[in-house]
Amino acid sequence: MDHYLDIAIVGDFNREQTSHLSTNRAIEDSANILETDINYWWVDSQSIANDPRAELSRFDGIFLTAGPYANARGIIEAVRYAREKNIPFLGTSSGCQFAILEFTKNVLGVQGATHFFTAKDQRGITRKSASGTPKIELEKIYLLNGSIAHQCYPQEIAREASAWRLNIADELLDHLVQKELHPGGMDEAGDIRIFEYKHNTFFVGTLFHPQITSAGALPHPLITQFVRASLRFRHKVQNTAQAMTI
């Protein structure tokens, strides 16, 4: 059984964006601590929009990093592919936002949903509490008992890096929970900052940037668990393929 992974980092890479550079480093941090070789590729939103299966079927995990995105439909298709194929998924910041948007469209059936509320369109899923140039700040995240996140972190309260304050619309939350997109962590104001879909082996979205606080010998616990889940997924696929040849 081989001990390496192929991970898709979905997004439109911009070397001027801190979270994009941090994503590469954070995956390497987790790979080192788990002694796993990880081949990771950035997969742009336009190519996924054209053919999600062709672009994503060879990967063991899908990491949806922050935007901006050139093609929103490609991002939504990436989330849908991960959710429906039960591929380990981690979405961060606007990656989480678009994971919720995909769920709203394809599970709740609100096809007219957009990612932001506007004055004219009240079908948006998130409100942004700040405008202008984003500033990275640390916030306290209180992990909820029984959540995937609670199982990942070694502590009860995490300190995480956020840029925009993305908050999910209150009127949408009950519908999300009814369809089992559950909260995993909340901030000091009581706003949900981590979402989890428990029908999948690992499907987690964070409205913050966990990759930014990953630090060498102290890799981020959520990203490390995402890598572990991707390893399990790869081994399961291999075992299934071997069984079919016997």
Residue 134 — pLDDT band, cuts 50, 70, 90?
low
* 2 pLDDT more than 80: no
Q: What is the pLDDT of residue 174?
A: 81
Residue 19 — pLDDT band, cuts 50, 70, 90?
confident
Query: Could you give the percent of the chain with pLDDT greater than 90?
Result: 59
Q: Which of 5-9, 56-60, 140-144, 160-164 has the lowest mean pLDDT?
A: 160-164
Residue 152 — pLDDT band, cuts 50, 70, 90?
very high
* 227 pLDDT more than 60: yes
Distances (CA, A) of 211 to 76, 82, 156, 237, 245: 21, 20, 19, 27, 40
Q: What is the pLDDT of residue 16?
A: 83
Q: Which of 94-108, 117-131, 144-158, 196-210 has the lowest mean pLDDT?
A: 117-131
Distances (CA, A) of 153 to 70, 86, 197, 206: 33, 23, 18, 14
Q: What is the pLDDT of residue 123?
A: 46
Of 176 and 155, which is predicted with more confidence? 155
Q: What is the pLDDT of residue 121?
A: 46
Domains in the chain: ranges and CATH: 4-245 (3.40.50.880)
> What mean pLDDT value characterizes the chain?
86
* 225 pLDDT more than 60: yes
pTM: 0.89
Say whether the peptide bond before residue 219 is cis (omega within 30 degrees of 0): no
Report whether 158 contacts 141 (CB < 8 A).
Answer: yes
Report whether 20 contacts 14 (CB < 8 A).
Answer: yes
* 245 pLDDT more than 80: no
Q: What is the pLDDT of residue 117?
A: 43
